[in-house]
A and B are shown apart, each in its own frame.
Chain A
């Protein structure tokens, strides 16, 4: 069953941009990565040391595999940057080009260039060492330097200040729910999000209980809450990156032209999750793509650049991914399920290899096949996509920072800061965490309630005189 998803329809106008001398046509709303993939460009960059080809991988700016230079500014994440029209894009590493990088000799000779190799060589030969370092320096950062114009354009022009009652960091499903919950309790809310509201839920369709509006596919729930947030009088939405938590109690938000200094009375962290990456030989080949990234291309960018796929998974979500791929016209050769006894809503059409183990991915410049060990045999399955659905983990960096500040030290905070089931969501006296960042993805009633609690907490603080020039 295919539900309606926000996406880039064929009725959207086309836009063109220049890519390494070529003109690329895209649809308004598509990411640079999607447009390139739609035009047969799989290699988006070369890796730092071994110059291995890399391509679209995570879809949500959580990996280093798609940075491109746009109008002279390097380090632009192609997966989350929409095509504007008229820009000049080129890739960053590769000599003479990203398609053919002669420096990949380091990959061929990787046994001599392992981690720490630079400390093992030339210790007794300072002049050679110095020369070697100069070579490395040229090779490492090759090609990446902002042009003067790009550097000037990157500078923020002004600083604004804001003192909302509640700052919600992250405008996915749970962030929107928390913001609505806080606003309902009378709080002035500032919701900071990177890109369009909805987060990963924009690409997912699993059922979410929205409470009053019933159970909806995640993408529709995201649309609904985003509309509500946009319409809410006391929720200000900003599109920018929260830089971090600081001891001065300020949460700076970098919004491009503006730097916003936010001093909230309470904070709700709704930063979502990261998908878990796979570990097998050639796990970094273009064509090995995480599940949400696959979904984003298909549903949001409406680009399907693959002909055949193998899904590697250890959960039901992987089988769902296989179904979505099938609906999108991709021939799914098999689902390699790492579990000995997978539970799945099988259709019988896609073979399921239970108890599978990935031996390796084959293909020099991109995925051409995957080798799976199954039932005592090694099978080579030709494909151009390996979809990976191995689960997710909380994007808990901001929570950890808040805990460091609270504890006064970094070392006291261990990985198990979530004390098991029944975790209330309280991080510190003035901060909470909701949604998948708290291990409670999709629990909108919790997020809503926490928003309310944050609002109540903010209301109980002593009234502060407004900051001069406050723009909240």
Chain B
């Protein structure tokens, strides 16, 4: 299937079973194995990286508006800088900068406030006014550039490479990543999880982790867990390679979009409509294709002449505040979730490490704690306003 995927049969028992071999699942497996956990199985119904981990926009930042997001994602950003060296695989992390772009006075005012919050939390971000931002983004339509935040040491990476890197590293440490194994049931007894049922047999484990991305709600249902979360479909497009015209990643708040130009020269970008598309389909829609084309051409007029090569979709699950839901489910011992990831690619290195730490030691880091399932059960939200996905919580 791919290097790092386990060849042999599924065993009867493991210490930890992780459902979903995306970046969250494989990253967590690696971190657990690093901490000495012995028998770990990651089960994926297709193959590692076939979900959102292989379909996302590849962007990485920690320049957010809320302390909760800033702390978690900055921890992640610091890991990103060392990830290739640690995993001994070049994930092509490009710290070429990340711009959060304001097009209106309101957005500019919000970003000015965010910059102060970021500074207070030790982030090195810069507030660039219209003139300075236009200089940084010469290909951008000046009408859409009121100013923005530049995080210089943030940027983007190669999404397949990261999954492959974690997969190989996890396999080297003895993790079994099984492809083509669909989990069909989660076994629960007396308030504890005891294992999973799969198409290839029953597996016992005292700890079951739901890292199933777009499929997470179905796994929750199998465990009898119901959280007020929905599945969501996101769409992106990629053009043919072009001469570099955009150095940084850019998230224009006005366009509900995010984009960058890869190191192969391709422009990759996605946008959203101001409502959640709850389809489970992986087919792209015409309305989003039009939306993306119109918005990207508006922001970067040169793209009008760029040839579109591909338009695709991926699914995630989300809670109304669009923050991830990470931790052990109250009332169901041993059932851990790391779901609701809309910004999962950038957050995975930190989440994997901190969640592994929590699982092994029982102590939850204060960086991870705000994202607990408890907040979801209680209907609380983390107010993060610097997102380019339609959120109800802002």
Interface pair B89/A119, CB less than 8 Å apart: yes
Cβ-neighbour of B244 out of A48, A130, A138, A410 (below 8 A) = A138
Partner of B281, one of A148, A250, A408: A408
Known contacts: A130-B94, A410-B282. The answer to whether A140 contacts B88 by CB under 8 A is: no
Q: How many chain A residues have a CB neighbour from B under 8 Å?
A: 51
Q: Is the CB of A154 within 8 A of B287?
A: no
Name the contact of A48 in the complex, choosing from B241, B242, B286 (C-beta under 8 A). Answer: B241
Known interface pairs A130-B95, A141-B244, A148-B301. Does A123 touch B85 (Cβ–Cβ under 8 Å)? Answer: yes
CA distance A155 to B298 in the complex (A): 11
Of B164, B241, B283, the contact of A119 (CB 8 Å cutoff): B164
Inside 8 A of B284's CB, which chain A residues have their CB? 246
The reply on A136 being an interface residue by CB < 8 A is: yes
Contact A119 B92 (CB under 8 A): yes
A-facing residues in B73-100 (Cβ within 8 Å): 81-82, 84-85, 87-95
- Over the window 125-148 of chain A, the binary record of Cβ atoms lying under 8 Å from chain B Cβ atoms (1 yes, 0 no) is 110011001101110111111111
Choose one: A118, A125, A148, A401; the contact of B92 (CB below 8 Å): A118
Closest chain-B Cβ to A404's Cβ sits at a distance in Å of: 6
Query: Across the interface, which residues of A come within 8 angstroms of B165, CB to CB?
Result: 119
> Judging by beta carbons under 8 Å apart, are A120 and B90 in contact?
yes
Contact of A146 among B94, B283, B289, B302 (CB under 8 A): B302
**Chain A residue at minimal CB-CB distance from B155:** A130
Decide if A404 touches B302 in the complex (CB within 8 Å): no
In the assembled complex, the Cα of A72 lies from the Cα of B306 at a distance in Å of 11
Tell me the minimal C-beta distance from A364 to chain B in angstroms: 25
Within residues 409 to 454 of chain A, which ones have a CB less than 8 A from any CB in chain B? Answer: 409-411
Q: Are A151 and B301 neighbours in the complex by a CB distance under 8 Å? A: yes
Q: Are B92 and A146 in contact (CB under 8 A)?
A: no
| B365 within 8 A of partner (CB) | no
Q: Which chain B positions have C-beta within 8 A of A119?
A: 89-92, 158, 161, 164-165
Interface string of B15-59 (1 = CB under 8 A from A): 000000000000000000000000000000010000000000000
Whether B84 contacts A123 by the Cβ 8 Å rule is: yes
Task: State the CA gap A74–B305 with chains docked (Å).
Answer: 8
Cβ–Cβ contact B242 & A144, under 8 A: yes
A133 & B263 in contact (Cβ 8 Å cutoff): yes
Contact, CB under 8 Å: B240 / A404: no
> Is B305 a contact partner of A404 (Cβ separation < 8 A)?
no
B278 sits at the interface (CB 8 A):
no
Q: Which residues of A contact B285 (CB under 8 A)?
A: 246-248
Contacts of A409 in B (CB 8 A): 281-282
Q: How far is the CB of B268 from chain A (nearest CB, A)?
A: 13
CB <8 Å contact, A137 and B264? yes
Given the complex, which residues of A lie within 8 Å of B245, measured CB to CB? 145
Chain B residues, Cβ within 8 Å of A244 = 311
State in angstroms the CA–CA spacing of A142 and B242 once bound together. 7
Also in contact, A146 and B95, with CB within 8 A (given A137-B244, A141-B244): no
- Shortest beta-carbon distance, B307 to chain A, in Å? 5
> Would you give the 0/1 interface string for A389-415, flagging 1 where the beta carbon is closer than 8 Å to chain B?
000000000000100110011110000
Neighbouring B residues of A148 by C-beta, 8 Å: 301-302
Q: Is the interface of B mostly helix, strand, loop or mixed?
A: loop
Whether the pair A145, B302 counts as a contact (CB closer than 8 A) is: yes
Complex interface: chain B residues within 8 A of A138 (CB):
243-244
Contact B301–A123 (Cβ < 8 Å): no
Q: Are B305 and A129 in contact (CB under 8 A)?
A: no
Q: Is B303 an interface residue (CB 8 A)?
A: yes
Would A250 and B286 be within 8 Å (CB), given that A74-B305, A118-B92 are in contact? yes
Are A252 and B286 within 8 A (Cβ)? yes
Q: Which residues of B contact A75 (CB under 8 A)?
A: 240, 307
Chain B's closest residue to A254 (CB) is B308
Contact, CB under 8 Å: B241 / A141: yes
Q: A74-B305, A123-B90 are in contact. Are A129 and B242 (CB under 8 A)?
A: no
A150 on the interface (CB 8 Å rule)?
yes
Counting CB contacts under 8 A, is A124 at the interface? yes
Closest chain B residue, CB of each to CB of A250: B286
A146 & B306 in contact (Cβ 8 Å cutoff): yes
Asked if B109 is at the interface of the complex by the 8 Å CB criterion, the answer is no
Known pairs A151-B302, A151-B304, A405-B283; A140 contacts B89 (CB<8 A): no
Provide the bound-state CA to CA distance between A152 and B297, in Å.
10
Residue A122 CB within 8 A of the other chain? yes
Identify B241's interface contact among A130, A134, A144, A247, CB under 8 A: A144
A129 touches B306 (CB 8 A): no
Are B242 and A141 neighbours in the complex by a CB distance under 8 Å? yes
Q: How many angstroms between the C-alpha atoms of A143 and B161 in the bound complex? A: 27
A142-B243 contact in complex given A120-B90, A247-B283, C-beta closer than 8 Å: yes
Say how far A226's CB is from chain B's closest CB, in angstroms.
Answer: 28
Closest Cβ–Cβ distance, residue B306 to chain A (whole Å): 7
* A41 shortest CB reach to chain B, Å: 23
Contacts A/B (CB < 8 Å), 18 sampled: A73-B305, A119-B158, A124-B85, A126-B81, A129-B90, A133-B263, A137-B244, A141-B241, A144-B242, A145-B302, A150-B305, A154-B305, A244-B311, A246-B285, A247-B281, A404-B283, A408-B281, A409-B281
6 smallest beta-carbon distances between A and B, as pairs? A141-B265, A146-B305, A151-B305, A246-B286, A141-B241, A151-B304
* Residue ranges of A at the interface with B (Cβ–Cβ < 8 Å): 48, 72-75, 118-126, 129-130, 133-134, 136-138, 140-148, 150-155, 243-244, 246-248, 250, 252, 261, 401, 404-405, 408-411
A75-B307, A123-B84, A137-B261 given. 4 additional CB < 8 A pairs?
A119-B158, A124-B88, A140-B241, A146-B306
